[in-house]
Each structure stands twice: as C-alpha cells, then as structure tokens.
Amino acid sequence: MDSLHKSSKIVVLVLCGFLVGGLSTYGIAYSAEEKPAEIKSTQPVTDCFESRIGYSSVTGVESVDSKYGYPNVKCSQTTGAVLWWGDPFYGTIPMGEMPEITDDTRGDFANAVVKPREPQLQYFNMGPNGCKTCHDGKMVPFPKGNKPRLIGMHQDIVENSLKLMHGHGALWCLNCHSATNRNRLVDRQGTEFSFNQPQKLCGSCHGENYIDWRKGVHGKRIGSWATGGKKRWWVCTECHNPHTVQATRFNRLKPEPPPALPRGMKNANYERVGDGEH
Amino acid sequence: MSKEKIKESNEADDLQQGRREFLKNVCASSVAALVAAPASAEAAVDPANPDADVTVAEFFQGHFILMSDEEKKQAIARLEKRYSAQYGKKTTVSDVPAPEGVLFGYALDISKCIGCRRCVHACVKENNQSRHDPEVQWIQVMKMPKGNISFTTEQLDKGYPEQSEFGDYGVQVGGNAYKTAGFSTEDAQNYYNDDLVPDKDFFYVPVQCQQCEKPPCVKACPVRATFRDHAGVVLIDYNWCIGCRMCQLACPYHARRFNWGEPNLPAEEMNPKTHYFGNRPRMRGVMEKCTFCVQRTREGRNPACLEACPVGARKFGNLLDPESDVRRVLATKRVFRFKEEYGTYPKFFYYIG
Amino acid sequence: MNTALSFAMDFGSYAIKGGRMYYAWLLFLAFFILVGSYTAYIQFTQGLIVTGATDQVTLEAFFANFVFTAHVAAAAVLVVAPGYFYHRKDMKELAVMGEIVAMVFVATGITFVLFHMGRPDRTWHIIPGIGFMNFPNSMLAYDTIVLNVYLLLNLIGVSYILFKKYVGTFHEKQLAIWFRPIVFLAIAWGPLIHIVTAFVLASNARVGMWATAVLPFAFLTMAGASGPALVVLIFLLARKYTRLEIGDPVIDLMTTIIAWSLGILMLVFAAEFFTLLYPSTEHADSLKYNMFGHNGLNMYVPWFWGTIGALVASFVALLFRKVRHSYDRLLPMVCFVVFFAILIEKPMILVFPAFSPTPLGEYAEYHVTLIEFFNVLFVWALGFLFLTLILKGAIGILTGEVSHEKASASS
C-alpha cells in the first residue's frame, strides 16, 4: 500500500512537471510565432512602373476617388510595380481614330482610352517642342538618306546603331522615325503617326499580332470587361521595346515575395527539380 | 435557349425556390432573431474589440440568400456600421446581384505568364485578406521546369539502363527519360524566390478558384454556405459558414483558404468598397476564396488580378458574348482546363498564346 | 417519477464510490480535464491557428481522433450482436456494456467534431428548420444525422435496460414492444456510422489516398479490432475488480473477433498497397511519401512502419492460443497495442500524409501543437471519465448491488 502511495505521488509530480514544462515551451514557441512580419515603414513607394521598368510609370495620388478615398494606384513596396488600380483611367486620353478592318476583328474601340506615350519618353521631354528641340533641321541637320551609319548620340536607346536589331538588321532608325518631323513616327508609305498611336505603325508589319491585339487576345486592357465598355488599352511600346527586340526581348523583373510556408515547415527545400523518379 | 439552360442548372435558384416554404419555418422558429435584429443594429460598436461586437443579431442571422429584403438591408447596415467603426473609414457593403445574361469566364496564357506574382498581391490588396498569421492568398503560382531541365543529352544518351539483379527479362526497370517534364505538379515549385523572373528554363502557372460548373465544394458544404450564383461564380456567405472545411477537402485545385485565426488586416490597407459575398473583412474560422472580384465584376469592372498582370496574360469576360475577350481566346487559341480529369468543368481556361 | 429519481440518485452515488485505485484513475482524468479546459479556452478564443492545421493539411488531430472514436463506437455492436442474433445468454447479459461504450464514444466523437469546427458557435446552422442542412448532397450532413441518431438509439437503449434492471422487471415478457426493434436498429446502425464516416473522407476525389472503395472495409476491420480490444480490456478490469461475472468464453469470442478483424485488415492493406504501388500512378504519391518520405521530408516514415509492424505483430500474437488465454498478462498487452496502434494509424497514416502532395504539388508535414495535444487529451479524458462512471454504475446494477428493492428497503 505504501509503495502505491509513493508511486502515485511520483505520478502526480511527473504530471505537474509535464504541464508546467509543456505550457511554458508552448508559450515561448507561441510568442515567437506571434510577432508579425513587420513591414518596414520607410518612405512608401509612390512612383511606380506599370508593366515594364522604364516603359511607363505612374505616380500615386491619394484620394483620387472621392467616394472611397482610393488612390489612383497602389504600388508594391518591394518591387515598385503597380499592384492595384484604383482608377484604371487615371491620366488617359482617348485612343483616337482607329482604322476599320472589314472582318470579324473590328475591335472594341468605341470607348478606348490610352495613356499618352509622349510624356513617358525621355528625349521627347527635353524641351517644349519635343524631339524637335534638337532635331529642328538646324541644330541637328535632317539626314539625307536612310543609310545605316554610326551615331554618336542616343546610345542608351541603341548602343551601336550599326547593329540595330529590328527586323534582323533590315530596318534602320528612319524606317520608323520621320526624318523631317522627329515628333512623329512614319511608315513605309510615308504616313505619319503620333507616338501615342504606335500600334498603327507596328501593325503595318506585324499584322497577325495587330489583329490579335485588336481582338483583345494579345496585350493588356483594363477597366470594363463588357463589350463596348470603357477600357484602357496598352499600346505596343508600353511592353515591347522596338530597339532591342532581338537582343533582349524583355528585361526580367523582380518577383513579389513568395507565400508564407505552412505552419510548422522550416523551408521548402523538398522542391527540387528533376528529382522526380518514376 | 442557352440562357434558359443556365437558369435550369442554377444552384442558387434552387436555394431561392425553397425560400418561401423555408422562410415560413425560419420566421416561425427564430422570432428571437427578428426581434433582436433591429435592436442590436443600433447598439454601440466598440472598434477596439472586434470580438465584442459580434452582436446577438449577427449570431441569429440566417442565410443571406434566404433573407427577406428587409432583413438583408438590416444585415448590411449592421456590417457597414461595424466595419466603418473598426477600420476608421466609410465602408460600403454592396449586395448588387449578378448581372442577367452573363456567365463569367477567365482565360490565362501560360506562355506569357512570367511568374511575377503581381496578381497574387493585387488580389490581397483588393480583397482584404489577412496579411499575416494566417497569411491568406487566393492565387498561388506554380513554377514548372521546361523539358531541358529534366532531360539533358548526356543523360539521355547513357545507353541502356543498368541491369537489375533479376536481369532484364522483360522486367520494366526504367530508362534515362524517367523524369517528369512539362505540365506536371510533380516538380512544381510553389515557394520559388528568384531574384529575377522569368527563369528561362521554367514556365509559370497561376492557380486560383476555377469557378467550376460542377463545383465539388458546393456539394460538400453541409449548410450550403457556399453556392453558385447565376453568373457562374461560386460564392460563400461568410456569416453562414460553420468552418468545417469539407469544401477545402473537396476542392481539387487547392483554391480555398481558411481563416485559421482572427484575420490581421491593417486599417490603412483596408479596401472600403466591399461586397457581401466578396471582399468584406472576414472573421476567424470561416472559408474564403477567389470570387472573380465579385464587388468589381458585378459592376462591370475587371478583376484586380487581371488589371495587375504586366504581360496581359489574363483575360476575363462574358462567356455568353461571342465578342468578349474570353470567347475570342476560346475561338482562336489552344485552350485546356487544369485537372480536367476531375470532371468539375472549370470556367477558368489556360491557353498557349 | 420517484423511481426515476431514486434510480438516478442510486446510480450516481454508486458510480462515484470506489477504492483507492478508482479515485486515482478519476483524478488522473480530472487532471487532463483541468488542463484541457484551459487549452480549449485558448482554442475557442483564438481559433484553430493554435493547432497545427494549415490550408495544406486541413484536418487536424481532432478529426483523426473522431474517426477513431467512430471505430470504437461502431464496434461496440459486436458485443450486442452475438447476444441478440445468436442468443448467447452470457453475451446478452453484457450487451448493455457494449451499448454504453458505443454511446460514450459517439458523444466523444461529436465533441471532437466540435473541436474541429472553425465556428462551433454556428453549429445550429446545420439543424433543419432553423438552419439549412444540405441534404442529400453533403456527406457531412449524412454523418451528422447518422451520428446523432446512433447516440440517441444507444441512449434510449442503455437507459431503458438499466432502469428496467434497476426496478427488477427486465424479463422477456415485460419489455416494451419498441425495445427489440431499437436494439436491432442500433446494431445495424453501428456499421452505418462507420461507412458514412468513411464516405466523408472517400468523397473527396482530391485526396488520392482516400478515393478508394476499400476505405469502408478498412474502417470496419479496424473497428472490429480496436473496439473489441477496448471491450476486452474493460471486461478484464471489470471481472478483476468488481463482482460482475464475465466468463472466459466471452473474452475468447472478443479475442477471436480481434484476430479475424486484424487478419482481414492485413488483406485490405495489402490490396490497397498493391493497387497503388504496382501501377505507381500519381495516386501512390501520398503512400510513397508515407512509406519512404519525399526529398528529405520523412517525418511519417517511422510512424508508418511502426504502426504496420505493431498491427502485424499483434495479429501474429493472437494466433497463439497461449496468448489468447493469458488473461492477466499477454492478452491485455496485445489488446492495448492493437487499440493504440489503430489510434496512431488515424493521424499518422490515414489523415496527415494523405494531404501531400497537395493538388499543386506541395508537401507538408503536420506538427501537432501542444495546445492541440492537450485538447485531444481533454476530449479523451472527458470520454473516459463518462465511460468509467457510467460503466461503474451499470456494473452496480448488473450485479444487483444497486436496485430499487435495496433502495426502498434501506430508506
């Protein structure tokens, strides 16, 4: 009987130890878990890029929408990309006249708006007259022909003008840029287009992509999903850089952070590629 | 004709049909709820303690679809008041019904997706998910190896596989091309954290709720808290969900996320334009998932993930409208559905552009 | 009415009387109930985030234990059935013990389900009339019906038998006409709660390991092993420490049932493993993960082989007559191992590994948190506390120590 008494005492003691030890370990573990991943409260990013770095950017403006106090955009604090559109039409202008194509790809241009390209172009903004500030025929004389030659300027756009990589070297600057009116683009027929409507020029060669784009299959549109609704269209040069298409089609981007691991998992090192054996 | 057909197979309508007889029962048996509802809507809200304001009225609240218009109004007023106090800004909770003559569909171009996860975080910003502990994200991006990772010429050219100890008498012992390649979840990486994307040897597949035509989650829910609306979107009444997670078990797309704890949503990041079935702040212990941004799409706007996608890989629209982006994709591209073998008939299509 | 009151009083006062060991056992359970009340409070105020469950592995230890309690509850019919189907008199006397086990374990299982739910305060949503039950679509709706009806059937059966015996009018001719149908219905209902619980899991095509037709059979055989194992333990204790007479043939019958069930279970496992591993399609991924691990994640591997090993070893042991008849040493040990192995099998083979890989190819390990662990123990302790008290009282009535005659004689 005495031994029973003794052993029951031990059991009680062990249980108490179990309880105290267990709960305190849990307390430590739990308080460690509780700490939220503090988002660094440095200056919030308000200037951010839309689709591609350096192609078009937007500045966040608070309370554009008076009803909900929305900003026009919310930017990623880690990558500086636009994550969320409060006002999809902020800073847009009507797309302008679009040619009718007499097939089933007429395009939904009734309420189409675009973001003007001209304010986004570095050299266009050098002066009040745009590119003509320098390319006025006097300061920089109009070139006589379209023969490729080495150019000492604008190396940030095309590093070596003799190796311009559009159309596998078949094209040169003045095939697309008007020789006499640098504020405009020009096609093979000599028709001039605004920088805000590059699709008309690009479409003259890239017909298939152009038709896909008109159909809404290629490229990006935001705003209304309904046919005939107001949509902001992305034009070609908001994603594609015509000067580097064959060297680097697209610059790579920093991705947004990965999801949190499932509770209890330390890492995702099991995600090894090529280990699957069957 | 097609419109009628959709109506017939409409699960939400089934709910509505039973509504009249059902309401009789509800009204008779939960008079307490009706009495309590107007009284507590007036009750003061303590923004510091969100637990305390789960009022009696909210506790006795019925299924939203089965409520009378008056009850709906009260429920929404209650929520607006509570959210406005809790987050310190004017919050609207809409109950705009799904538009008529619309069947929502989505298409995603996996040849364009660069795996930047902007859709994931756009969704979080739009839909008021819990930011951490638990972190809730409705979209998950899989990174899958292209064939050149799985196979190299040297590896493939090793000759015959080594003989097993049983010899090679017709026993299948493998070969050099035994690794997975292409569209397979086997080698998918869900937690990739590269410096730059896209990785040239990989492609990316974002997955979210596929808005199935035969949703197994709706079938599994014991209380019909989740249902399909007549625009084809599967929704959840967060105030009716009992948190049993049978829908999460049933979903073959890992699309549903659970609020394991009280959601952590900073007031300054809260999106005040909400919908009852969409992005209104959720409570602990209920299920949530992609609703195709019901608060946007029911009012004609595109979902947030589509607007955030930098490469235009995402297309959304009305499947009943042949002019819509989705129908155009279906008509011209090579389209497939993810895990088609489950027979759930998603309205989320992947294509190779 | 007075009789009913004195029945309750006598039953209760007998149930809480016992020796030193009896009180030690009750105290032991009370300890876990005390701790568990605190951890349960934490869970119900902070949510399921205090458990190890994640979106990847969405069923926690509560659900795994619920499946196990369904096993035991269903298997209790194996005590009732021989008495009523084969008219074994010795079994018929003890049938009420089986019904008590069934009743208590169904209630324990329902408590586990409440712990599993994210919003236990909204349980009323499933009650038809005031809520909305998604019948006949949802398998959980079926399960709710089936479990509650089983609880009710056993509650009626048990209280009727005990009361009748207490009053001393439990004779064939004096029983109510509804009694026998209810007993037979309860016997049929036992396997039903099981099959439906298996279907709750098997209805999820997403989890490849469960999408198998043998799941209900695996459940039935595991029930046939774990339930009687517990019953044998209870019978052995009861006949050692109380005046209740339980003959060796009763124990032997139970042991035989365990052995047969384990034998069939081996076949079911073998069939399942073969069907998965020979074609080795993606459906086998979870099983391979369980058996061998995946790229360095091998937490479940020892549990798998340990559990399977324990089951095989107990099966082999029960083939020996010597073990089967070693009533005070080997047999209780084997029964304990069987009970415990099948309890462990639930989370570590059936539930947790089945979720990996997820539909998007993720693998996850489940780490049971301490709060979750204590909550599981809380529910078990509650269950065993009620089981002990009710069984003790029932034994008093079965042995005749508690009866209306005695009560009225003494007063």
pLDDT in tens, B216-252: 999 999 999 999 999 999 999 999 999 999 999 999 9
Q: Phi/psi at A105 (nearest 5 deg)?
A: -110, 50
Q: Given a contact as 3+ CB pairs under 8 Å, which chains touch B?
A: A, C
Rounded-to-integer distance, Cα A77 and Cα A48, Å: 9
Rounded-to-integer distance, Cα B1 and Cα B13, Å: 17
Give CATH superfamily name and number for C2-410: Formate dehydrogenase/DMSO reductase domain (1.20.1630.10)
Confidence category of residue C378, pLDDT binned at 50, 70, 90: very high
Q: Which amino acid is located at A10 in the chain?
A: I
Pairing of strands B287-288, A221-223: unpaired
Mention every residue, 6+ apart, whose C-beta is less than 8 A from residue C311: C225, C262, C265, C266, C338, C341, C342, C345
Print burial letters for B309-336: b (CB count within 10 Å at least 16), e (below 16). bbbbbbbbbbbbbebbbbbbbbeebeee
Q: Which residues of C have a CB under 8 Å from any CB of A?
A: 20-21, 24, 28, 31, 35, 49-50, 52, 54-57, 280, 294-297, 362-367, 369-371, 374
For an interface test with A, give the residue of C362, C366, C373, C376 to mutate (most A CBs within 10 A): C362
Tokens of C122: 């909204």
Q: Residue A3 has what pLDDT?
A: 57
Task: Compute CA distances A30 → A73, C46, C78, whole Å.
Answer: 37, 12, 44
Rounded-to-integer distance, Cα B256 and Cα B286, Å: 10
Q: Residue A40 has what pLDDT?
A: 44
Tokens of B305: 């993930």
pLDDT in tens, C197-235: 999 999 998 998 999 999 999 999 999 999 999 999 999
Helices H / strands E in chain B, number of each: 14, 12
Contact B111, B352 (CB under 8 A): yes
Rounded-to-integer distance, Cα A94 and Cα A152, Å: 37
pLDDT at B43 over 60: no
A114: β partners: A93, A233
- Contact residues, chain C, for A26 at CB < 8 Å: 369-371
Q: Given a contact as 3+ CB pairs under 8 Å, which chains touch A?
A: B, C
- Contact residues, chain C, for A22 at CB < 8 Å: 370, 374
Task: Determine, for residues A4 and C50 on separate chains, whether the beta-carbon distance falls below 8 Å.
Answer: no
Mean pLDDT of chain B: 84
Residue of chain C minimizing CA distance to B33 = C130
User: Up-side HSE of residue C192: CA atoms within 13 Å toward CB?
Assistant: 16
Among A216, A249, A210, smallest CA distance to A233 is for A216
Task: Determine, for residues A270 and C366 on separate chains, whether the beta-carbon distance falls below 8 Å.
Answer: no
Residue of chain A minimizing CA distance to C360 = A271
Rounded-to-integer distance, Cα C227 and Cα C68, Å: 9
Kindly report the pTM of this predicted structure.
0.89
Q: In sequence order, which ranges of C60-211 are alpha helices (DSSP H)?
A: 61-75, 77-85, 89-116, 139-167, 179-202
pLDDT at C266 over 60: yes
Task: Determine, for residues C374 and A30 on separate chains, whether the beta-carbon distance falls below 8 Å.
Answer: no
Rounded-to-integer distance, Cα A8 and Cα C76, Å: 32
Print burial letters for A192-222: b (CB count within 10 Å at least 16), e (below 16). ebebbbbbbbbbeebeebbbbbbbbbbbbbb
Task: Determine, for residues A84 and B308 on separate chains, whether the beta-carbon distance falls below 8 Å.
Answer: yes
pLDDT at C152 over 80: yes
Task: Give the distance between the most distant pair of CA atoms in chain C.
Answer: 74
Identify the residue whose tokens are 């675009």.
A114
* Cross-chain CB nearest to C49 (options B59, B250, B260): B260
Q: Residue A44 has what pLDDT?
A: 67
Rounded-to-integer distance, Cα C126 and Cα C320, Å: 49
Residue of chain C minimizing CA distance to B226 = C134
Q: Tell me the nearest-neighbour CA distance from A193 into chain B, angstroms.
A: 25
Does residue C278 belong to the interface with chain B, where contact is any CB pair within 8 Å? Answer: no
* Cross-chain CB nearest to C370 (options A25, A265, A272): A25
If one looks up domain B2-139+208-352 in CATH, what number appears?
A: 3.30.70.20
Q: Given a contact as 3+ CB pairs under 8 Å, which chains touch C?
A: A, B
For residue B206, the surrounding DSSP H or E stretch is strand B202-207
* Cross-chain CB nearest to C365 (options A30, A265, A272): A265
Q: What is the mean pLDDT of residues C153-165?
A: 93
Start-to-end Cα distance in chain B: 31
Print burial letters for A22-61: b (CB count within 10 Å at least 16), e (below 16). bbeebeeebeeeeeeeeeeeeeeeeebbbbbbebbebebe
Q: Tell me the nearest-neighbour CA distance from A31 into chain C, angstroms.
A: 11
Task: Determine, for residues C134 and B190 on separate chains, whether the beta-carbon distance falls below 8 Å.
Answer: no
Identify the residue whose tokens are 């998603």.
B346
**CA angle, residues A217, A218, A222, in degrees to nearest 5:** 80
Tokens of A211: 């038709």
Residue count of chain B, please give it.
353
Does residue C55 belong to the interface with chain B, where contact is any CB pair within 8 Å? Answer: yes
Among C352, C199, C333, C341, smallest CA distance to C269 is for C341
pLDDT at C326 over 90: yes
Pairing of strands A221-223, A57-59: unpaired
Confidence category of residue C2, pLDDT binned at 50, 70, 90: confident
Among A220, A194, A218, smallest CA distance to A206 is for A218
Q: Tell me the nearest-neighbour CA distance from B189 into chain A, angstroms.
A: 6
Q: Residue C218 has what pLDDT?
A: 95
Tokens of C69: 């309690």
Q: Evaluate the CA torsion angle B326, B330, B334, B340 in order and state its sign.
A: positive
Pairing of strands B226-228, B140-145: unpaired
DSSP string, B2-21: HHHHHHHT-HHHHHHHTHHH
Rounded-to-integer distance, Cα A242 and Cα A185, Å: 12
DSSP string, B260-292: -SS----GGG---EEETTTTSPP-TT-EE---S
Task: Determine, for residues A51 and B135 on separate chains, whether the beta-carbon distance falls below 8 Å.
Answer: no
- Contact residues, chain C, for B263 at CB < 8 Å: none
Q: Residue A14 has what pLDDT?
A: 64
Q: Tell me the nearest-neighbour CA distance from B198 into chain A, angstroms.
A: 6
Q: In sequence order, which ranges of C293-403 are alpha helices (DSSP H)?
A: 300-318, 321-324, 330-345, 370-398
Which regions in chain A score pLDDT beneath 50?
1, 25-41, 275-278
- Contact residues, chain A, for B300 at CB < 8 Å: 224-226, 229
Task: Determine, for residues B300 and A226 on separate chains, whether the beta-carbon distance falls below 8 Å.
Answer: yes
Q: What ipTM goes with this model?
A: 0.92
pLDDT at B31 over 90: no
Confidence category of residue B20, pLDDT binned at 50, 70, 90: very low
Rounded-to-integer distance, Cα B314 and Cα B119, Å: 10
Q: Residue C392 has what pLDDT?
A: 95
pLDDT at B8 over 60: no
pLDDT in tens, B143-199: 998 877 767 777 777 656 566 666 655 555 556 677 777 788 888 999 999 999 999
pLDDT at B16 over 50: no
High-pLDDT (> 70) share of chain C, %: 100
Least confident of A175-179, B28-32, C110-114: B28-32
Chains A, C: CB pairs < 8 Å: 47
Task: Determine, for residues A274 and B311 on separate chains, whether the beta-carbon distance falls below 8 Å.
Answer: no
Contact B258, B243 (CB under 8 A): yes
Q: Tell me the nearest-neighbour CA distance from C169 into chain A, angstroms.
A: 42
Task: Compute CA distances A239 → A117, A251, C316, C333, C400, whole Å.
Answer: 12, 10, 71, 73, 90
Q: Residue C224 has what pLDDT?
A: 95
